[in-house]
Amino acid sequence: MQSSELSVQGQNLIQLYNQYYRDKLIVDRRYQRKLVWTRDEKEKLIDSAINKLPIPLILLAQRKRAGVEIFELIDGLQRLEAFFSFMENKYSYRGEYFDLATTGDTLAKLHARELTQQKPVMSRETSLAIANYQIPLSIYRDAATSSIDEVFRRINSGGRRLSLHEIRQAGVTGPLADVVRRTSATIRGDGTFAEALTLSEMEKLSISRRDLTYGLDLDRIFWTRHDIIGAEDIRSSGDEEMVLDLVLDAVLDPWPTSGWQNRDVAYGLPRKITSATSEEVGAAINTIGVENLQQRIVAVIELLDDVMRDHGSLGRHMVHLESYERGTQRQFQAIFAALYELVFIDGLQPRSMDAIRGVLDNFWGRDLSIPTGGSAWGKDKKATLYPEVKRRLRRAFFKPEPKSAAVQLNSRLLIESYLSGPVNEDPLVELKQGFCVLSNPPTENVDLFDEVMQTAVGMANWSRDASGFILIGVADKPSAADRLKELFNVSPIEIHGQQVVGTSEQITHLGYDVDSWWRKWQSKIRSAPVDSDFRNNLAHSFSPIICDGKVLWIMKPRSTGKPLSYNQRFFVRMGASTHEMGTDEFLAHVALNF
């Protein structure tokens, strides 16, 4: 592990809140847990501050991102969020709210109407005591990403109130951890695109909403709405363990045993069993692609959600029981595995939502049985059960002719996650309306490919660990949406204030179908004048994605860890635009960010 300077000091909440106020405190979602503390836990922390009781040390890593100094939270996320949300009047302590006039930063937010003083107001003396509370702080300076990951893994591998999956996931990177984390977040509704968020942005992703006014509503999440996983299990990452099992079923042949030891081995942890290794699982995922696999899993989830829309709970529909002590995880897992094969392996399409719903009615109340309880679900049982489940579901599907490479399942959840947040100002996000110049008649935008490639390279050059996305099929301005309506009779779908217009009408106008257009652009990307590893990964990420019947295109440029040129020119994202740099300016940028 790289040697770095470690300093231990004390800072009061006023000082730490100032870093939070200036968006200097960053949460890396590759390894950090969700916000899960309940209101009771948060109030106990405030009680510790008032009574001057010690709390565990907060660990930060000092880093530079895009040339700006930031502090990455390694340990202490729940505690700091609890303090700061109290200081911002998000909850009370013994019925009283923090006095916003106590600190300069909270007062500034009050004057800017970013905060509202709730009542009754805590005394200034008590509020000041909280604001001056000394936090034990350790700052890990000049730390590499690999060092931070290792520190986080060691801190969280001691079993401190973490679930088996939280221990398994702590600090682990790679294709399996990536697809599990991203897919789980998208299904929960906290699938923001960014790998790193400011601490102030984390509150909207909190799943500790009970008795609080912010965060995600657990009762509205797919898993709880359909009686598959209980709310408390989601708090301890039971949904992520569910997604892990779905991923392993999807990519491994034959279907693997589902058990805690098998999951550990897939994550690279040593266990005395024979099971698919992390290398084997990673290779299987990479064959499909992390992004593509995520899209597939979310598409099957959305298919089942659409099947049951306005018809109640999927769990209660599959199993006609009144109570679910342990949910319907395994029943769902078997249904998912069958649907995944029918759609993505066999290339079938649903006859209708009614047809699937009819097959699923009391599906597990007939002559099918499924293992229950906490023990491992053996691969031998799956080998006999899954094909029978698939056979029964098959009658709700048909074989389309001709077979299309682009599977037409809805991925609105993914689009919603991509378009959440301030995408119009994000340097790692670019939205394009489509492939045509909106003249009359429309013509192909022959400059678009170069523009997209320059943007992709500019995103990769933003920093050593940059990861961006380009979405084609979203109007970049209202006038473009109006023009598409006029030229192609396109009715946009509004998602998070963005106008989703799709591209199928433009592609058809240019004489292509989705598959031929896909092949054309992938071929152009693979022959582009840019680093071969970068262009191959970029071509692999480029794919169609369906949102309520509209065809969009996603491209996800990632840094290769080194600066890139495109056609011997240097590009960097600056704000929401792509800027070409001369050699000296680019070298200065590289020195700051690589």
d(CA 190, CA 34): 10
Give residue-wise pLDDT tens across range 168-185: 876 577 899 889 988 998
Task: Express the helix, strand and coil content of the chain in percent, nearest 5 each.
Answer: 45, 15, 40
Give the three-class secondary structure for 56.
coil
Say if residues 544 and 561 touch (Cβ distance below 8 Å): no
Q: Is the dihedral of CA 196, 198, 204, 210 positive or negative?
A: positive
CB–CB of 528/572 below 8 Å? no
Helix axes 329-340 and 238-251, enclosed angle (nearest 10)? 30
Comparing 30-34, 62-66, 158-162, 285-289, the range with the smallest average pLDDT is 158-162
Query: Is the model's pLDDT at 149 over the cut of 90?
Result: no
Mean pLDDT confidence for 513-538 = 94
CA 223 centroid distance within chain = 16
Q: Give me the helices (H) in 308-411, please.
A: 314-318, 329-340, 353-360, 379-393
Residue 166, pLDDT > 90, answer: no
Least-confidence region, from 41-50, 326-335, 519-528: 326-335
Tell whether the model's pLDDT for residue 1 goes beyond 50: no
pLDDT at res. 152:
63
Residue 142 pLDDT > 70: no
Sheet holding 498-500, edge to edge: 474-475, 498-500, 493-495
Tens-place pLDDT, residues 483-497: 999 999 999 999 999
More confident residue, 400 or 351: 351
Tokens at residue 579, please? 């800027």
Please name the amino acid found at residue 236.
Answer: S
Domain 412-593: which CATH number of 2.40.160.20, 3.30.950.30, 3.40.718.10, 3.40.50.2300: 3.30.950.30
Closest among 255, 351, 360, 342 to 304, alpha carbons compared: 360
Average pLDDT estimate for 59-68: 78
What per-residue confidence (pLDDT) applies to 575?
87
Predicted confidence (pLDDT) per residue in 88-117, tens digit: 999 999 999 999 999 999 999 999 999 999
For residue 284, report the phi and psi dihedrals to the nearest 5 degrees. Answer: -65, -40
Q: How confident is the model at residue 29 (pLDDT cuts 50, 70, 90)?
A: confident
Round to whole Å and give the CA distance between 264 and 268: 6
Question: Is 463 a residue whose pLDDT tops 70?
Answer: yes
In one-letter notation, the amino acid at residue 104 is G
Phi and psi (nearest 5°) for 564?
Answer: -125, 155
Please give the backbone phi and psi of residue 471, each rounded to the nearest 5 degrees, phi first: -120, 120
Q: Where are the domains of the chain?
A: 5-156, 222-398, 412-593
Pairing of the two strands 469-472 and 577-581: unpaired
Lowest-confidence range among 116-130, 463-477, 567-581?
463-477
Residue 161 has pLDDT above 70, yes or no: no
In which band, very low, low, confident or very high, does the pLDDT at 144 lie, cut at 50, 70 and 90?
Answer: low
Of the given ranges (79-88, 320-329, 440-449, 534-543), which has the lowest mean pLDDT?
320-329
What's the whole-model pTM score? 0.76
Based on C-alpha coordinates, what's the Rg of the chain? Answer: 25
Confidence of residue 2 (pLDDT cuts 50, 70, 90): very low
- Among 31-35, 368-372, 493-497, 581-585, name the one with the lowest average pLDDT: 31-35
Q: How many CB atoms lie within 10 A of CB 147?
A: 16
Residues 311-322: pLDDT tens digits?
A: 999 999 999 865
pLDDT range class, residue 245, cuts 50, 70, 90: very high
Q: What is the per-residue pLDDT for 159?
A: 43
Q: What is the mean pLDDT of residues 38-61?
A: 92
Q: What is the mean pLDDT of residues 112-141?
A: 93
Confidence of residue 160 (pLDDT cuts 50, 70, 90): very low
Percent of the chain with pLDDT over 90: 63
Tell me: pLDDT of 498 over 70: yes
Q: Which bin fits 89, alpha (ψ -120 to 50), beta or left (φ > 0)?
A: left
Q: What is the pLDDT of residue 193?
A: 54
Q: What is the pLDDT at residue 301?
A: 95
Lowest-pLDDT range, 93-107, 196-210, 457-471, 509-523?
Answer: 196-210
The rounded mean pLDDT for the chain is 88
pLDDT at residue 209, as a whole number: 52
